[in-house]
Structure 1
Amino acid sequence: MIKFSELNLNPKVLKAIEEAGYETPTPIQAGAIPPALEGRDVLGIAQTGTGKTASFTLPMITALARGRARARMPRSLVLCPTRELAAQVAENFDTYSQYVKLTKALLIGGVSFKEQESLIDKGVDVLIATPGRLLDHFERGKLLLTGVQIMVVDEADRMLDMGFIPDIERIFSLTPFTRQTLFFSATMAPEIERITNTFLSAPARVEVARQATASETIEQAAVFVKPSRRDREASEKRKALRAIIDAEGEACSNAIIFCNRKVDVDIVAKSLKKYGYDAAPIHGDLDQSQRTRTLEGFRNGELRFLIASDVAARGLDVPAVSHVFNFDVPSHAEDYVHRIGRTGRAGRDGKAFTIVVPKDEKNFDAVEKLIQKEIPRVDNPAQSKTEIPASTAEDSPAEEKPRRTRSRRTEKRSTDAAPAETAQAAPDAPAAAATPAEKPREETPRREDKPRRGHQRGARGSDNTVVGMGDHMPEFIALSFDERRAG
């Protein structure tokens, strides 16, 4: 088996790798590092968690060890889809370059422009950035990309999902044609393949088999939730999530809860906090300082539940996660393996629960088809719990008022329409045969030509229709009236 010492890396880089505790490269590293050191373009296709970051940082540091950066003209560029992934790449760069004198700058949103501009002005060897913030600096005239020797695009498939492909194409056009390009993606969508054909020159293609199975140390389960009403689906899913967490008890020391949309990330986080759970969201609309604090709190054990979307959690390496909860079934089956892979790492045991509602069953079937395994079904713990009173249940205030209004209207119809059934039962009965209770009503002067709504004219006229109720009267009204009379 090949070792890092056999890959012709800089001795100072090898020393840093050894101190980090690594000896054997992963398949993507063993395949990508040699051609990258030769100066060739590289197209790497591998899932997150396979070691792609080291695949480009190690040859970059070796190649940049000689030379010096000039002001506003970085020597290399690394593009990442999210702030968190960019920050993680920067951490890896610091780890592997500790014995090599190289400078870096991190250009991400949520951080002051002035601080970033001061770093660029001094000259940096490695520029790690998100596409939007990079173009912001370029348009301000604070950055030149004509000195880029090595360009890296990481998680290109996520760039496509987030709509960054036009920005990527523009950035490519701003860099020299002679640059070396290292391009990494988990999948090869047609749009991504078009970019690689356009901007890469005879790349060395390194493909690692797609990860379609989860670690054997992860216990998987699916909880099927059938909502009582369509408008209660979200609240009943949240109730099921809380019930599963409670059922796990102390075994659930910390967990990542995945949602498909940012708006659901916020809603789930607020709901959990409302019920006393230590939870916080992480997504792109939050301030960068808040996102950093949230991640640090989760890594340090100060935060128990991290609610995130796939994009925000992409590439995050958080050790010792006991549970993963899929509040939503992922739209792409491959994301399921990525999500649950956040737990059960380094030989640890982990648990992964997925909440499935009827509309998600098609995506859930795709997940089972990908992993070629049936995920065990477990009962919904929320169904055995005592129902929350309407006054305290989520979403109940908005539902109670219309129900009371409908009840009063139904009761009024029943009361008004009941006398009409008596008249219909005996239309030819003489007035003298009326009960004593009916006599006072007959003696009271009334407008006989304009009967009240819901009453029949009975013996007083030939019209037997019930006003406002069609051509006949439902039987239940007569039954309820007869029962009340009998009592």
Structure 2
Amino acid sequence: MTDDFSGLGLSTKVTDAVTSAGYTTPTEIQAQAIPHILEKKDVIGIAQTGTGKTASFVLPMLHLLENGRARARMPRTLILEPTRELAAQVSENFEKYGKNHRLTMALIIGGVSFEDQNKKLDRGVDVLIATPGRLLDQIERGKIMLNGVEILVIDEADRMLDMGFIDDIEKIVNRLPPRRQTMLFSATMDAQIEKLTKKFLKDPVHVQVSRAASTADTIDQKLVKVGSKPEEKRAALRERIAAADGLTNAIIFCNRKRDVATLARSLERHGFSAGGLHGDMDQKSRTETLDAFKNNRLTLLVASDVAARGLDIPAVSHVFNFDVPVHAEDYVHRIGRTGRAGRLGVAYTLVAPADGKHLDAILKLIQKPIEWLEVSGKPAAAAAPVAEAEEGAERPARPARSRRGGPRNRADAPAAEEAAPARAPRTRPESEKGEGAKPRAARAATAEAAPAEPVADEPTAAVEPVKAERSQRPARGRGRPRPEADEEPSASNSNSPFGNDGPVPAFLLRPTRIGS
């Protein structure tokens, strides 16, 4: 690997800008990728986050763009980014490293006025940095023509292709000239996504400087066991923040956007300097919040995964995963916001009982054990236990139950009976038995002669809950209750051709007249 940027074949304008920015030695991904890009080869670059992937394509693009000029509405290069924040960050890199060039650049992202973007496009731009959705909007409006694009960069390729951007990217690529140079850069890229890249690249050079989905050795990773209730997790987070050594600022990641706002408000109520960042915020609010965090006006940035990819804020000391990420690859990107550019960082992940499956996937992906901490901050006895065992320890086994609520296995019956006190069966008074067979007038007379019912506030042993009363009722067929097989039929119905369900209707007992 070369010791400085001058040995990579870059122009003097580029190397001078890099030196003035304070960089002298290229990273491994930069040293390997830049020579291939200068040779105009297609490149797939895989490196863990925080290793300088952005500069590895920005610097050679500046060199290649020194010759030629832009035409109206026909950009010379196109860089696709999954989020507005990443697009804005890449534009900052072009401004920093391209200060010695007279190149024009346009940022095409949502949340920004179409009119301002159109003015730049009408003048012509050398570099177009865009998110797929807004770019397609401008193409359909006739404001951009892509038939002059010489270089295409798909940044954070796994995210772009895996999170629903594949259709938009195919529409965009189909509008590009076939003779172009294409590059893909990412921290992770599985075999399935790599197959998709065959649609976009021709004989690409693979540049992989670290195992895919690996985490930096500069990050101290910890797991914290917490309860399932949100208030318990928030209390555990506050305890970790207060106990963290050397915390200057931190990013706190949540899986859901609505939890971002809730957690940010909770931290503010407890006296922390916190702000929220998620995809549903308008662009002005997102930009203001991110600037406040970068400029140390905010200590804690509560964010969704919109901030997990590629954001380069070198001085982030801590990362907290309030939720275990559903996708294991997102864990690599989240904790990669700290420990950047050789600095040391700390990443805490709060693990609830239901997170065992997602934690197992993370441990399998990074192939590295993670130390467990208790909420109090004391180290746990074992480091990185199997997640199924942790989850099982939180939930004691329950006896299987039948559909009627009782234990399915008879061996479990004694324990179930001890747990719930037995209820006395409800018996009907002798005066009520057989009441269904009495004529209506006789029942009315009995009701008038019966003593008054006890008032509602007088406790009686005969009063039972509705569920208990229903559970003691005999099984019913479609009609009235029928006597059991061993029950003697009543004398009034023993010879009835209609069975033992009650008295024969009077109209059926009338004599039948037979005409002569």
TM-score (norm 2): 0.72
Choose which of 230, 236, 240 in structure 2 pairs with 1:244. 240
Note the alpha carbon deviations across 1:312-350, whole angstroms, 9 max, x for none.
Answer: 331111132222111011223343333223233445443
Counterpart check, 1:448 vs 2:451: yes
Q: Structure 1 regions of 5+ residues with no counterpart?
A: 228-232, 384-419, 425-445, 459-463, 474-487
Q: Which residue of 1 aligns with 2:504?
A: none
Instruction: Tell me, in whole angstroms, the C-alpha distance in 2 between the residues paired with 1:467 and 1:80.
Output: 64
Instruction: Tell me, in whole angstroms, the C-alpha distance in 1 between the residues paired with 2:299 and 2:325.
Output: 22
Q: Which residue of 1 aligns with 2:31?
A: 30
Aligned residues: 406
Q: Which residue of 2 aligns with 1:413?
A: none
C-alpha change, 1:215 and 1:166, in structure 2 (3 Å) is closer
Q: Which residue of 1 aligns with 2:385?
A: none
**Which stretch shows the higher mean deviation, 12-21 or 147-156?**
12-21
Q: Would the aligned equivalents of 1:42 and 1:183 in 2 still touch at CA under 8 Å?
A: yes
Alignment of 1:63-462 (within 5 A): 63-189=64-190, 192-210=193-211, 214-227=215-228, 233-248=229-244, 251-381=246-376, 448=451, 450-451=453-454
Instruction: Tell me, in whole angstroms, the C-alpha distance in 2 between the residues paired with 1:149 and 1:277.
Output: 48
Q: Would the aligned equivalents of 1:221 and 1:378 in 2 still touch at CA under 8 Å?
A: yes
C-alpha change, 1:123 and 1:224, in structure 2 (3 Å) is same
Note the alpha carbon deviations across 1:8-28, whole angstroms, 9 max, x for none.
Answer: 212211211222232332222
Q: How far is the alpha carbon of 1:281 from its aligned partner?
A: 1.0
Q: How far is the alpha carbon of 1:139 from its aligned partner?
A: 0.9
Note the alpha carbon deviations across 1:426-457, whole angstroms, 9 max, x for none.
Answer: xxxxxxxxxxxxxxxxxxxx963645679898
Q: Structure 2 regions of 5+ residues with no counterpart?
A: 379-422, 428-448, 472-516
Letter in 2 for 1:166: D
Identical aligned residues as a percent: 58
Note the alpha carbon deviations across 1:401-424, whole angstroms, 9 max, x for none.
Answer: xxxxxxxxxxxxxxxxxxx99xx9
Q: How far is the alpha carbon of 1:168 from its aligned partner?
A: 0.4
C-alpha change, 1:358 and 1:6, in structure 2 (3 Å) is same
Greater helix share, 1 or 2?
A: 1
C-alpha change, 1:468 and 1:190, in structure 2 (3 Å) is same
Q: Which residue of 2 aligns with 1:410?
A: none
Instruction: Tell me, in whole angstroms, the C-alpha distance in 2 between the residues paired with 1:13 and 1:108.
Output: 27
C-alpha change, 1:190 and 1:465, in structure 2 (3 Å) is same
Q: How far is the alpha carbon of 1:126 from its aligned partner?
A: 0.4
C-alpha change, 1:190 and 1:216, in structure 2 (3 Å) is closer
C-alpha change, 1:121 and 1:357, in structure 2 (3 Å) is same
Instruction: Tell me, in whole angstroms, the C-alpha distance in 2 between the residues paired with 1:268 and 1:124.
Output: 41
Letter in 1 for 2:243: A
C-alpha change, 1:18 and 1:156, in structure 2 (3 Å) is same
> Larger Rg: 1 or 2?
2
Q: Would the aligned equivalents of 2:69 and 2:126 in 1 still touch at CA under 8 Å?
A: yes
- Report the RMSD for the aligned CA atoms in angstroms: 3.1
Q: How far is the alpha carbon of 1:133 from its aligned partner?
A: 0.8
Instruction: Tell me, in whole angstroms, the C-alpha distance in 2 between the residues paired with 1:470 and 1:65.
Output: 87
Secondary structure of 2:243 counterpart = helix
Q: Would the aligned equivalents of 1:282 and 1:291 in 2 still touch at CA under 8 Å?
A: yes
C-alpha change, 1:59 and 1:262, in structure 2 (3 Å) is same
Q: Which residue of 2 aligns with 1:470?
A: 468
Q: How far is the alpha carbon of 1:138 from its aligned partner?
A: 0.9
Instruction: Tell me, in whole angstroms, the C-alpha distance in 1 between the residues paired with 2:216 and 2:460.
Output: 78
Q: Which residue of 2 aligns with 1:416?
A: none
Letter in 1 for 2:247: C
Instruction: Tell me, in whole angstroms, the C-alpha distance in 1 between the residues paired with 2:456 and 2:358.
Output: 53
Note the alpha carbon deviations across 1:25-81, whole angstroms, 9 max, x for none.
Answer: 222222222221112211222233222111211121111100110111111100000
TM-score (norm 1): 0.76
Instruction: Tell me, in whole angstroms, the C-alpha distance in 1 between the residues paired with 2:308 and 2:334.
Output: 9
